[in-house]
Amino acid sequence: MARILITSAIPYINGIKHLGNLVGSQLPADLFARYQRGRGNEVMFLCATDEHGTPAELAAAKAGQPVAEYCTGMHEVQADIARRFGLSFDHFGRSSSPQNHALTQHFAGRLADAGLIREVAEKQVYSNADGRFLPDRYIEGTCPNCGYDRARGDQCENCTKQLDPTDLIDPRSAISGSTDLEVRETKHLYLRQSALKDRLDAWIDSKSDWPVLTTSIAKKWLHDGDGLQDRGITRDLDWGIPVKRGDRDWPGMEGKVFYVWFDAPIEYIACAAEWAEAHGRPDADWQRWWRTDKGAEDVRYVQFMGKDNVPFHTLSFPATIIGSGEPWKLVDHLKSFNYLNYDGGQFSTSQGRGVFMDQALEILPADYWRWWLLSNCPESSDAEFTWENFQQGVNKDLADVLGNFVSRITKFCRSKFGEEVPAGAYGEKEQALIADLTTRIRAYERHMEAMEVRKSAQELRAIWVAGNEYLQSAAPWSTFKTDPDRAAAQVRLGLNLVRLYAVLSMPFIPDAGARMLAAMGSDDDSWPDDVAAALSTLSPGHAFAVPDVLFAKITDDQREDWQGRFAGTRA
């Protein structure tokens, strides 16, 4: 039994995430976690809310709540939506946890002791009206590149150009709207990533199985321009983890907090410690996942994230771990994704454009979304969500192929043999199907192990199609008229296919998989290592029930209504 540690990029606390966020990390991570559990492996699947930094403070201010209160409430909202989407986290933690406070301060102390942190005096924008330094995202103005009048001090959302606050035309405070700004000197701590460049470069070179998207982004940051730069790890903010050197104060850093991109990845580790506390487990139980001197040497660690997060997870977080000099587990495989765009443009949280996770669940069950998003996953390039493609994918794949097969075979059996599996020996046609399915299931397993999400979905659909083609060719409704025993064997195979499809489909569509298993009166969700044996699991006389419609088709009227509703009206 393998041990597999899985983390997906932790979402910002500032509101409910859209479908592009979901398919860029959490959903494919859940697919992999469910598959590995189904194969009998020990899995630890961790995620959390990213609660520090400018987005949290701005969102709390907009909501009129203290930031700690806002984060607590939004964590509960995000956790609830994750559960309803079937995301099977072993723990969904919080980067504001005491465990992350302690670990972040611990890592900072270790890095300082190793000479990998330096103090830098720098110029930052200060708002006289707000009485504070303004982080980049707290400054708004007009983009000098495209003229967009709500560009942030770090990036223009409209044209995506990277900016410095001083680049903005007519800059103003995002807190008060004040234009009474000036540039002042402040001191911050920087992680000396440049000192670890060669070690990081060699480590990335050793990952020959990583996606090209992942390694190309990492290499660009390592070698383009002046190469890997040192990075600030502190900010002048009120909300965050206080800057300490382990459990000691850090002279000159009073009133400052660690930068969110320093503490957020450390939450992956802290999340396991939170899991242990929540379940009354000793520290050894979480350390066996994260410390190679405590049992993690045989753990395979896999991360899932969108391409915008790759630099921090291939360079900054590994620099933190390597620089600490301690035996923490480094990632073995980093699966990165391109962007999912929305109906001719981009998803936009600020403009309310696109479908957000809570809205998606209001109109359709989670499995509809899970299947379409995963089968159209933006792996090799950006992908686009359109309502036409969504309707077509649901109707053709889920309703016409899988749902239709389950409905036809169960209803036919009930009409001719009652609600129990009939007897009958498999013939040449059944053996040929078993051989074909064995080949396909082994291919499905290879794609899943390689985290090739689209190819996995294509192979699973082909497995469903094979059952439909068999049923159409065997035509038990015709066979029954002349050879009831032969028809009984065909139906027996068809009912066993329903159970097999339930098991194979569970990583993609867990609710439908569970309903199919329940309809077959089976709790046997064992993986089909032997396909012939799997297709004899339901023995003659075994009772089953005809399930309700697994997937309803999306009508043209529904599609048109939703397309108008989600064009950009979310508050």
Task: Point out the annotated binding site for Zn(2+).
Answer: 143, 146, 156, 159
Classified as helix, coil or strand, 133 is strand
Helices marked H in 343-475:
357-363, 366-375, 387-393, 404-417, 428-449, 453-474
Q: How distant is the alpha carbon of residue 495 from its chain centre?
A: 33
Q: What does the DSSP 8-state code read for residue 209?
A: T
Distance CA 518, CA 65 (A): 45
Binding residues for ATP: 349
Which helix (H) or strand (E) covers residue 334, if one does? strand 333-337
CA dist., res. 19 & res. 339, Å (int): 10
Question: Residue positions in the annotated binding site?
Answer: 143, 146, 156, 159, 349
Reported as half-sphere exposure (CB side, CA atoms, 13 A), residue 295 has a value of 11
How many Å apart are CA 534 and CA 391, to the nearest integer?
33
Q: How far apart (Å, rounded) are the C-alpha atoms in residues 441 and 100?
A: 41
Angle at 302 between CA 86 and CA 381, to 5 degrees: 80
**Dist CA 64 CA 167 (whole Å):** 30
Cα-Cα end-to-end distance for the chain: 48
- Which SS3 state, helix, strand or coil, does residue 547 take? coil
How many angstroms separate the CA atoms of 47 and 90, rounded?
8
Count of positions (residues) in the chain: 571
